[in-house]
Amino acid sequence: MPRLKDKVAIVTGGTKGIGFGIAEEFVKEGAKVVICGRSRETGTSALSALEQLDGEVLFVACDVGDIDSLEHSIAETVNHFGRLDIYVANAGINDPEKTHFLDITPEQYDKIMDINLRGMFFGGQKAARQMVKQGERGVLINMSSVNAHLALDSQMVYTTSKGAIQQLTKVQAVALAQYNIKVNAIAPGAIDTELMRRVGSDKQLMNTILSRTPMGRIGTPTECGRLAVFLASPDSDFIFGQSIYNDGGRGFQAFPTPGYKTLSDEEYDLFQLLVDQNQ
């Protein structure tokens, strides 16, 4: 039997990248899935792809940085499917500009924190209120990052937000345990997403990432999706307030992997071709 049969799940940022990978695996496991995103065009395309899996899927336009929009997405989910069992707070952004700490503006800070942390905080709160109202078990899954504990000074606000998410996950878990709501986080490393494709355009940086990833490759949204299924299912019911690293070992690799061979021009061109085909 599918592990999430008839469960109702919201996946914020579920129209592409890791979020879409999670939504896809949820549908395969029998869940009724609501994907949320800001772009209706991207949402419609993702909805069409998920419907090919013969699942029950709904797209709701949502900006997680807006409290009213968060409330609307949960209300639409309950109106359509009657309940909410799983809430995946995946939506997040980064600043493409490598701004030094001394030069970061309040506007840059607020833009990232509003989506990555404030949106996750209040989205989880509102989802949990619905779960408590239902009086049954529920699940919150937050999207952190390996950069929660790696000091990436070129992306200071982003890494700060991801570190805060890990503490948020712990305190949410403690606060909601009495209501039988399980809270955990996923902390990915380098995953084949739109953001990673931008990173991958820099061959030197790509080599650096791979040299510090013992598995020697980037991960996939599907691998994140399978982990999310595990955390959403009863199989993980005694895992509590944890951040599970899905990073190929990158988080604990202090120095380049012994014997690591950098990408040749031909290998890098092949990598770029594969990336382009998956866009």
Q: Residue 197 and residue 10: Cα distance in Å, rounded?
A: 26
| CA within 13 Å, CB half, 152 | 22
- Return phi, psi of residue 33, to 5°: -120, 135
Question: Per DSSP, what are the bridge partners of residue 142?
Answer: 89, 185
Question: CA–CA separation, 172 vs 139, rounded Å?
Answer: 11
CB neighbour list of residue 273: distance below 8 Å, 6 or more residues apart: none
Which segments of 17-115 does DSSP mark as H helices, in order? Answer: 17-28, 40-51, 67-81, 106-113
Determine phi and psi for 227, rounding to 5 degrees.
-65, -40
Helix (H, G, I), strand (E, B) or coil at 36: strand
- Residue whose tokens read 């598995």: 215
Long-range contacts of 103-110 (CB under 8 A, 24+ apart): 104/156, 104/157, 108/157, 109/157
In angstroms, the CA 80 to CA 35 distance is: 13
How big is the CA angle at 263 (ends 154 and 18), to the nearest 5 degrees?
55
* Active-site residue flag, 245: no
Which of 87, 109, 158, 268 is the catalytic position?
158
Q: Which residues are catalytic?
A: 158
